[in-house]
Structures are given as structure tokens and as C-alpha cells.
Amino acid sequence: MAFGPRSNLESLVRAAPRRWRQRAALGLLPLALTAACAREPFRVRPTADYPVPETQAVAVAEADYAARARVLRDGNELVDRFDANHLTAGMLPVYVWLDCRSTAIDLKSARFRLRDASGQAWRRLSGRQSEKRLMKSYGIRAYSVDGYRTFRARYDESLFPAAGARGPGERADGFLFFEIPRARRDQPIGDMSLEIELRLAGKRRVTRIELPASDMITSPAAERAQE
């Protein structure tokens, strides 16, 4: 019995390192999970810091406004901008610039229709639909709340505005995303045309922009910027 306390003490000393290790491991687990989820789903570059070049855009001038459009067919450019390639997710990005000259433009009434050379219309996707397609394509399931908010704010900022108005001398610009028909996803995009429908002073106006063909295939291997 005289050795009982000593034996208990030795047991505690021997057991302590193991307990400490267990507690340390349990304490580090939340930190590891937090680190894994701390970043945004995609690191979108701010539009203000990285504007889309207009050099390859096709322009059409009307009396009341001027419209420009450009199809982004380069997956590397998309990865550099969005940290993701929309083409591999079955989407075709089109960037549009709309400059108001004389009559105010109500952006809520603006309609956009993209057609291929056969006349088939490609379905326009909302910002949320395009976002979900990217998430699914890249298998993104874990991210922090703050990281998602940052991503969503920057992603929304890159989209063509769905509301508001532009007066003379003002511009509206941003991305539109269209669903690539499943039968076309392993083929060259080819000639495209974009119809922009506006209502100015109560009258319907339609502008058609012809977008040149490209030999680039729309579904190369998925790419993403390295961490």
C-alpha cells in the first residue's frame, strides 16, 4: 500500500504525454479544417484592377448608343481572371460594352440573344446559374462563409448589370454567360451573332453584332490557377 501513491504518480507521468498529444491533435483539427475552407471557392480578380481589353471587340454604332461585344474563347485568360475555365463547364462567356449617347438606357429592359451560324439560340444563364455550374465542374464543396462572400461580390461585379439606368456619356459593361449546347461542346465554336434588344423612349431597338469564328475547341482539359 505504501507504494500506491508512487505507482499512481508514475502512471500519471507516463500517461500525460499521450493525453497531451491527443488534446493537441483535437485542438489542431479545427484549425486544419478552417485552413482548408478559409479561401474563396474561386479567386476572382477585381474588374477594376483587371479590365477586359476592348482591342478584340466587335463594335456597332447606333444613333443613340454604341455596342461592343467580345467572345472569350481562351481558357487561360478565363483562368487568369476567374481562377476557373467556364468553357470546360459548358459555358461561353461574352463581354459586352454599352455606351449611351443621347437617350437614357433602362438596363432592366435589355435583352441579349446569342445565336450560332445555324441560327440556334444559346440559352443565357444567370449569374447564379453560371456560378453553380463552375462549382459543380470543379467539385467545390468546402469554403468559408467570408470566402464565399468575397467570391460572390467580385463575381457579381464582373457581370453585366441587370438593373439601373445609364444616361448620355455613361457606360454599362460586363460578362454574359451562355450555355454551350451539349452536341457542340467538342466542336469549334464557329461564327456567332449577338442580338441586343433595348427600349429607348418606349420604342424597341435591336442591334446585331457579328462575332468572328475561332478554331479553338470549347472543352479542353480543365484548368485552374495553381495555389
Question: pLDDT tens string for the chain (227 positions)?
Answer: 444 444 454 444 344 455 544 554 444 444 444 444 558 999 999 988 889 999 889 999 999 999 999 999 999 999 999 999 999 999 999 999 999 999 999 999 999 999 999 999 999 999 999 999 999 999 999 999 999 999 999 999 999 999 999 999 999 999 999 999 998 888 888 899 999 999 988 889 999 999 988 655 554 444 454 44
Q: Enumerate the domain spans of the chain.
A: 38-211
Question: pTM score, two decimals?
Answer: 0.79
pLDDT at site 38: 53
* Cβ 127 vs Cβ 203: under 8 Å: no
Is residue 53 exposed (0-12), middle (13-18) or buried (19+ Cβ within 10 Å)?
Answer: exposed
* Cβ 187 vs Cβ 55: under 8 Å: no
Sign of the alpha-carbon torsion through 151, 162, 100, 69: positive
Beta-strand runs (E) in the chain = 58-61, 65-71, 91-100, 105-106, 111-116, 121-122, 124-125, 165-166, 171-179, 192-200, 203-211
Cα–Cα distance, 155 to 81 (Å, whole number): 10
Identify the CATH homologous superfamily for domain 38-211.
Answer: Gamma-adaptin ear (GAE) domain (2.60.40.1230)
